[in-house]
Amino acid sequence: MSDHNYVPESKVGKWFNDRLPLLSLGAHLREYPTPKNLNYWWTFGGILTFCLITQIVTGIVLAMHYVAHADLAFESVEKIMRDVNYGWLIRYIHSNGASMFFLAVYIHIFRSLFYGSYKSPRELIWIIGMIIYILMMAAAFMGYVLPWGQMSFWGATVITNLFSAIPLVGESIVTWLWGGYSVDNPTLNRFFSLHYLIPFLILGLVVLHIWALHVPGNNNPVGIDIKKPSKDTVPFHPYITVKDIFALLMFMIIFAGFVFFSPNVLGHSDNYIPANPMVTPAHIVPEWYLLPFYAILRSVPDKLGGVLLMFGALFVLIILPWLDTSKIRSAVFRPLYRQFFWILVIDVLALGYLGAMPAEGTYLFLARVSTVYYFLHFLVILPVLGFLEKTDPLPASISEPVLTGGLSTSAAKSDDIK
Amino acid sequence: MSKQEDKKNRRDFLFTASYTVGAVGLGATIWPLIHQMNPDESVKALATTEVDVSQVAPGKSITVLWRGKPVFIKRRTPEEIAEVRAVDLKDLKDPQKDEDRAKNPEWLVMLGVCTHLGCVPLADKGDFKGWFCPCHGSHYDGSGRIRKGPAPVNMEIPEYEFVDSNTIKIG
């Protein structure tokens, strides 16, 4: 990389950098050679960093007013909403921020799926990303428990009971998770502790995620290896920073739209009823971002089977780099994969919709079909496709189709995707 | 045995012994950090509840809280008892006679917790004149036995006894 020989101009800078090369790191991040053809789907990394920081900052502030006790939690959240100066704003940013975080992470993941960003040599970036995603779900779930409303309580009950499906030790694990014989004050207390911890674990993993990214460099819409630095790359700053900031501003408009105009539309009104261990709400649904997994859980008529399949849905994602046998990264040059990609998108959206509907009749049947297709995509279609598919020819470099004037169909398609 | 081999064996022994002591020490350090999350003695001490059931009319039920979980106490009518006792065990997912579930046939005392994922089933609902869990659609009969849906086993019968004809001690 070009910044290995970086020498600060000032004497103080040089003195500092010789002892701790933070300025070299800064120079590396500024000059980091980035493919010049990155489209707006590549701006979600920056957006996600913004989401993480927003959640941490608003979360630390909320923790100054929140009381993690079964008798006081609900009241303290209401106090935040009504009495604390700007408490309503900070809490609405935090609760909607979770949804925005997942919206961005889903786009980021599907970007990766479309352009094959998980393939060699970027498998570790993908796996670290999946661990981050799983930790995000854990953090979101525990955060949802903290207001101690009806949905909090019963969501906690249902999710922790998933572990009771484990043969022999399941019940002991659940009792251990609860710290009692039901979800109660000890459960709330430890969830608060872990909810505070996980974002910092995520932050650490984000550093590893970016570190692992900076070794091979970014994938790009064409999906071919590029020389760096070369005429195929631009320095990260100012070219990518400006593009990222523009995309972030667009994203923040949507974010602010939720916070200021419909802050509760993504939540469930039952969570404004204090937790009651005697009554389960009639329709218990998780937050929208967990619905596809919930649909998979419910589509199996067996307890252990449902739980295994739900965790299996995550596991196939983790081993995805070895399930996809095609050497071609970008779907732009994979005419068949491109179609299966969009079918998968529809399938996951369908699972999300079906997860919110009652598990009976046609809904249940469709949920089962969608579940089967989800696994079919990863376990059968992707491995087989690599051998059967006749891929389109790759350009020799990013610059080739642009600079030679003869715009190949592939490059035109990559423009369409923007 | 040469002197060198002797030394090597002694070193191997020292390594193995050190690793073993280290592993035991590590385990002894981690265990308190894990066990602290288990229910403590004060939680366990609250494990019995006495309930006065003199006000419960036949065909009605009450729900009481025991160890943070609801317990259904149902006073069944003779018809209800006859119906659940007439069920063929072959029709059951988790075969269990009603006689084994209700010591006193008139009283059904069970944990009101769905064995699927822990929701509280609704009374007098479902396809089997018993309970229905709204979360994931498990149907229980008038004896609290699973008949349809994802729940694997019948609703649990806690330990209980009749202290006198009007009082049930749970736990």
Q: pLDDT at position A397, please?
A: 87
pTM higher than 0.80, yes or no? yes
Averaged confidence pLDDT in chain A: 92
Q: For the CA atoms of chain A, what is the radius of gyration?
A: 24
Is the pLDDT confidence value at A417 over 80?
A: no
Integer angstrom CA distances of residue A190 from A19, A143, A185, B47, B119: 41, 11, 9, 22, 21
Closest CA to B140 of B155, B152, B156: B155
User: Which range among A45-59, A394-408, B37-51 has the greatest average pLDDT?
Assistant: A45-59
Give the model's confidence band at B3: pLDDT under 50 very low, under 70 low, under 90 confident, else very high.
confident
Is the pLDDT confidence value at A418 over 50?
A: no
Give the model's confidence band at B48: pLDDT under 50 very low, under 70 low, under 90 confident, else very high.
confident
| Bond into A292 cis (ω within 30) | no
Q: pLDDT at position A238, please?
A: 95
Q: pLDDT at position A150, please?
A: 95
ipTM > 0.90 for the complex: no
Query: Taking a contact as any Cβ pair under 8 Å apart, which residues of chain B between 98 and 127 contact chain A?
Result: 115-121
Instruction: Please name the residues in contact with A21: beta carbons below 8 A apart, sequence gap of 6 or more.
Output: none
Is the pLDDT confidence value at A410 over 50?
A: no
Phi and psi at residue A34, to the nearest 5°: -120, 140
CB of A43 closer than 8 Å to CB of A252: no
Closest CA to A284 of B69, B137, B65: B137
Is the pLDDT confidence value at A352 over 90?
A: yes
Q: pLDDT at position A138, please?
A: 96
> How confident is the model over A333-348, as a mean pLDDT?
97
Q: How many residues does chain B have?
A: 171
Q: Cβ contact (<8 Å) for B119 and A280?
A: yes
Q: pLDDT at position A2, please?
A: 45
Q: pLDDT at position A404, please?
A: 56
> How confident is the model over B113-123, as a mean pLDDT?
90
Give the model's confidence band at A416: pLDDT under 50 very low, under 70 low, under 90 confident, else very high.
very low
DSSP label at residue A44: H
Give the span between the Cα atoms of B100 and B83, in whole angstroms.
Answer: 15
Residue B136 annotated among the catalytic residues of the structure: yes
In tens, the pLDDT along A191-208 reads 999 999 999 999 999 999
Give the model's confidence band at A225: pLDDT under 50 very low, under 70 low, under 90 confident, else very high.
very high
Give the model's confidence band at A93: pLDDT under 50 very low, under 70 low, under 90 confident, else very high.
very high
CB of A200 closer than 8 Å to CB of A207: no
Is the pLDDT confidence value at B127 over 90?
A: no
> How confident is the model over A106-125, as a mean pLDDT?
97
Optimal mutation site among A280, A285, A363, A371, interface B, most CBs of chain B within 10 A: A280
CA distance B122 to chain A (A): 8
> How confident is the model over A366-377, as a mean pLDDT?
97
Q: pLDDT at position A402, please?
A: 56
Is the pLDDT confidence value at A411 over 50?
A: no
For residue A314, count CB atoms less than 10 angstroms from its CB and return exposed for 0-12, middle for 13-18, buried for 19 or more.
Answer: middle
> How confident is the model over A116-123, as a mean pLDDT?
96
Q: pLDDT at position A301, please?
A: 81
Query: Taking a contact as any Cβ pair under 8 Å apart, which residues of chain A between 6 and 25 contact chain B?
Result: none
In tens, the pLDDT along A120-153 reads 999 999 999 999 999 999 999 999 999 999 999 9
Query: Taking a contact as any Cβ pair under 8 Å apart, which residues of chain B between 127 and 166 contact chain A?
Result: 133-137, 149-152
Averaged confidence pLDDT in chain B: 89
